[in-house]
Amino acid sequence: MNLWSVYTSLGGDELRVLRAIEKWMRRYRYVPVELVERSSRLPPSRFSRAVKTLVTMKLIKRRLGSLSGYTLTYTGLDVLAIDNLRSRGIIEVLGDKIGLGKEGDVYIAVSPAGSRLTVKLHRAGRESFRKIRRHRSYALDLRPTSWLDVSKALAEREFKILVRLEEEGARVPSPVAWNRHAVVQRYVEGVLLAEVRVLDAETAASILRDVLETLRIAYTRVGVVHGDLSEYNVIATAEGGGVVIDWPQYVYRDEPHAHELLTRDVDYILRYFRRRAGLKVELAPAIKYVMGETGEPPV
């Protein structure tokens, strides 16, 4: 059963129980049963049926014993985010999963007006959190008592930086909305750079110019560094350009590791285009361009 089918199969009672559990998860890893029941305001028989459905569908987990309680799974959080986006008129329907990564899943969606959107559901875990914490000062404010809360924080962070980047003219997905761990963006027609089978020099140069210009705007106008750039974070558009995606791990340019991460980003993408398309661009002038020290793009 796909995620949309899971969501549409639920009734109001199940959603009330999910919200009740989420409400108390900042205080409890497993929310006590009596607290969930009281917060849901459901009669005992309806509460029991709703809980049974949610456990069966793996939207919640139950801990048995003297300290019995419930906690949300990522799928349970998915359902709450989708319900919010639908009730706000952001999405009309959620379609197939079109992207899967270590830190999130991406779905196609349709707005009430018929526009195509993407919904990115963040999924932070121990590996990604350790990676973030090594280099990103903002991770000091994230306490991994709940990976769901970390995912919510990353989604909020990504949405807000996309708004800033788009305002400054960077080639990034256009942000539409955010709720919990979900970021809604306008659909970008194209494929991941990593999935492009044939990459000629002219197209490669066009994509690289867009990528470097976006990194330049991010650094000089917004004051941030992407921090994890690769062929899996660039969409090759149908028009032959490039769009830079996946921004939650950005760092501010005045942070201690920022220059190291900027150099890594630029060096990696230059080496990729050199290997795939024979496009030779030197690192030093590319770095100067991105940092705003020269006005001429190196490609």
Domain boundaries, the chain: 3-72, 79-186, 190-290
Q: CB under 8 Å to 13, separation ≥6 — which residues?
A: 40, 42, 46, 47, 49, 50
- DSSP β-bridge partners for residue 109: 94, 117
Please report how many Cα atoms fall inside a 13 Å half-sphere around the Cα of residue 148, on the Cβ side.
23
The chain-wide mean pLDDT, for the chain, equals: 93
Q: CB under 8 Å to 237, separation ≥6 — which residues?
A: 188, 189, 190, 243
Give me the architecture of the 3-72 domain, per CATH. Orthogonal Bundle (1.10)
Q: What pLDDT, on the 0 to 100 scale, is given for residue 99?
A: 86
Residue 212 pLDDT level (bands cut at 50, 70, 90): very high
Residue 136 pLDDT level (bands cut at 50, 70, 90): low
3-state SS assignment for residue 1? coil
Equal fold, 79-186 vs 190-290: no
Annotation says 228 is catalytic: yes
Catalytic residue chosen out of the listed positions 228, 246, 254, 265: 228
Q: What is the DSSP letter of 141?
A: G
Q: Is the pTM of this model over 0.85?
A: yes
How many helices and strands, by DSSP H and E, does the chain display?
10, 13
3-state SS assignment for residue 72? strand
Q: What pLDDT, on the 0 to 100 scale, is given for residue 127?
A: 54
**pLDDT exceeds cutoff 80 at 228:** yes
* The CATH number of domain 79-186, selected from 3.30.1540.10, 3.30.160.150, 3.30.200.20, 3.30.450.20: 3.30.200.20
b/e 156-187 (16+ beta carbons within 10 angstroms → b): bbbbebbebbbeeebbbbebbbbbbbbbbbeb
Asked if 180 contacts 77 with a C-beta cutoff of 8 angstroms, the reply is yes
Q: What pLDDT, on the 0 to 100 scale, is given for residue 124?
A: 86
Between the CA of residue 33 and those of 30, 51, 63, 79, what are the distances in Å? 9, 10, 10, 21
CATH 2.130.10.10 assigned to 190-290: no
Q: What pLDDT, on the 0 to 100 scale, is given for residue 271?
A: 98
Residue 140 pLDDT level (bands cut at 50, 70, 90): very low
